[in-house]
Amino acid sequence: MSIVVTGATGALGRLVVEQLLATVPAGQVVAVVRDKEKATPLAARGVELRIADYGRPETLAGAFRAGDRVLLISGSEVGSRTAQHTAVIDAAKTAGVAQLAYTGILGGPDADFLLAEEHKATERLILDSGLPYTFLRNGWYTENYTAALAPVLEHGAVVANAGDGRIASATRADYAAAAVAVLTGEGHLGAAYELSGDVAWSLDEYAAAVAAATGKEITYKRVPAAAHQEILVGAGVPEAFAAILADVDEAIARGLLAGTGGELARLIGRPTTPLAETVASAVAAL
C-alpha cells in the first residue's frame, strides 16, 4: 500500500509530502506531479514519482494502484476543476484505490458561494463513484491574506467587502497535518471533516495584527463588492476570478467561514496556528 499525493509540488501538496516523510518511510510515499524535474528533490529522498496531469486524462492511467491511499488536492484552475477532478476519480476507481481523500471547502454541500460549486460537484462525483472516501472540507487559509501583504503595507489598508464577518482560518501546514492524519490513520473512511482554525478573527483584527508586526498604521477599509472587484481587476486579477473573490467576501460577511467546531485541532492533535504567529512569520519573510 502506498500513500499517493496528487499535486505534490504545489503549495499544499509539498507540505503534505514533507509531513508524510516525517511519519512513514519514504518508500511508502508517492508524488503525482506534472513536472518531473521540479520533483527531483523528492525522488532523491526516496519518494516514488508518477507523472500525470489533471488536465490530460490519458496521463492518469498509471497514477494509481490497487490498494493505494490517495489524496486528491483540488486543482488550481477555477472553472476547469470539475472536469479535471472527474478524470482523477475515474482513474482512481479503475485502479481500485483503498481511499480517496479530497480537499474540499468548509460547509460542503451547504456552502452557497461561487468558489464552492466545483468542490460540491466533486464530492457528488466521489460519492457516485462508490470509492471509499474521506472529505477534508478545508476552511480559509491564513496565507490567502499574508501572501498579499505587499499592497497592504503599501496602502496602509486591508481592503475587502467582508463587512464585520469573521474568518476561522488555519495555515496550510495545519491542513496538511490533517491530510496526513487521515491518510496514515484508521477510522476515517466515509467521514466528512469540517476543518477550520480554533479562533475566528475579523479583518479589523487582521489589520491590527499586521500593524503590530510591522509597526505601521494599518486599517481595514470596507468597500462594496463591486468596488472591491474593480480594485482586484485593476491589480491584475482576471475579472472572473475577481468576481469569485468578492463573492467569498460576501460569504464571510454571512458567517460561512467563521465556524470553529474544533475538528481540525482534534485531527492534528494540537491547537491550530494563531493568526499573529502566521502574520509575524510572513512579515519576517518580506
**CA-closest candidate to residue 101, choices 19, 10, 182:** 182
> Strand 201-202 vs strand 166-167: parallel, antiparallel, or unpaired?
antiparallel
* Same domain for 33 and 129: yes
Range of the domain at 22: 3-138
* Same domain for 118 and 24: yes
Q: What percent of the chain has pLDDT over 90?
A: 96
pLDDT digits (tens, 9 = 90+) for 210-229: 999 999 999 999 999 999 99
Q: What is the count of structural domains for the chain? A: 2
Q: What is the CATH number of the domain that holds 61?
A: 3.40.50.720
pLDDT digits (tens, 9 = 90+) for 29-74: 999 999 999 999 999 999 999 999 998 999 999 899 999 999 999 9
pTM above 0.85, yes or no: yes
Question: In sequence order, what DSSP letters do the residues of 219-271 get, joined into one string?
Answer: EEEE--HHHHHHHHHHTT--HHHHHHHHHHHHHHHTTTT-----HHHHHHTSP
Query: 3-state class of 192 per DSSP?
Result: strand
How crowded is the C-beta side of 15, counted as CA atoms within 13 Å? 12
Instruction: Give the separation between CA 226 and CA 206, rounded to whole angstroms.
Output: 22
